[in-house]
Structure 1
Amino acid sequence: MESSGGPLIAVPEAVLPFWAGADGDETSSDHDRACDIDGYVGLLPVGDTRALVLGDEPAATAYLPEHGTFVRRHAADAEAGSLADVPAALEAAVWGPEMEWRVPGPVVLFDAARPGSASRQADHIRVDLTPGHYRVRAAYVSTGPETWLGLVRVRPLTS
């Protein structure tokens, strides 16, 4: 999936109605808050939980459940080639700082400019996460001369 130019956001289904996107009466919209995230990934309060913002720049994004990873294609000759590069990219990744994300259940990834109530009427990805605490880390990896992938790994936090 792709955004219309801003960040993508993974909002827990339980709080989708609380995400106003670019709409709203406040001086700073939810979309503005998402745009203020510095770096590849960040967390924002939404309702009584937090949403995961995939920051940096707009990029075509897929979720690969077998790797527990959002894969963002920043530059690649072909989509099939970039997805085939994921195992090597995960192996070569130099991961950024870890953050903890408490998730109440499945999340929906969509363009942060859209309100949560309209998220399923456009391009979106539903990710079935089990309620619990997750470790989130991001990396930016080159797997070839013209292939750059952003990786956001979401792994259950074990005791």
Structure 2
Amino acid sequence: MERCAEPGTVEWVESGGGPLVAVPETVLPFWTGADGEEFASDYDRACEVDGLVGLLPVGDAAALVLGDEPAATAYLPEHSVLVRWVAGHAEGDLLASVPAALAGAQWQQDTHWQVPGPVVLFDAAWPGAQAEGTDHARLALGPGRYTVRAARVSPGPETWLVLVQLRPLA
């Protein structure tokens, strides 16, 4: 994984080996990560998500879990897509392949996600109250309902991505 984009252009978030989660800022304190005192922690619940994406209740909202496998993930607002870097040599080539990958993606079933405003993407093992002190990214989503769809794509012979598109519903 060779990163070569201008510093600050694309912000990648990585996990320590488990899933990433996008939690609305309004309910960040309710995400307990691996520290939960319940029978199953929030991290345990996130690990049980089957597939590329899933929703988990958190407070009076829902968190979006990026399942399947840990992968460096960046949000590209110009495409309304989370790009998960599964395999590929250079960041520049990977990012240049996104438009064609979006056009040719075989999307899985849509999920609908109600978002009260901006969300924070971080490692599901961390408590939400500590998310901003870890490897994280803030996604400036407007409040409303979003269609979430995901696809595995291979835009080149040695490049594999998972795309998670977030489209606001009218």
1:3 aligns with 2:11: no
Secondary structure of the residue that 1:22 maps to in structure 2? helix
CA distance in 2 between counterparts of 1:110 and 1:35 reads: 14
How far did residue 10 of structure 1 move?
Answer: 0.2
Work out whether 1:57 is the aligned partner of 2:69: yes
Which segments of structure 1 move beyond 3 Å, counting only runs of 4 or more?
none
Aligned 1:5-154 pairs, distance under 5 A: 5-154=17-166
Equivalent position amino acid for 1:56 in 2: D
Structure 2 residues not aligned, in runs of 5+: 1-12
State percent identity of aligned pairs.
66
Cα RMSD (Å)? 0.5
Q: Tell me, what secondary structure is at the counterpart of 2:51?
A: coil
Paired with 2:122 and 2:113, the residues of 1 have a C-alpha distance of: 18
SS of structure 2 residue aligned to 1:82:
helix
SS at the partner of 2:35? coil
Q: Which whole-Å deviations, capped at 9, do the CAs of 1:19-53 have from their partners, x for residues lacking one?
A: 00000211210000000000100000000010100
- Could you tell me the TM-score, scaled by structure 1's length? 0.98
**TM-score w.r.t. length of structure 2:** 0.92
CA–CA separation in structure 1 for the residues paired with 2:36 and 2:115: 25
Letter of the 1:45 partner, please give it.
Answer: P
SS of 1:17's partner is: helix
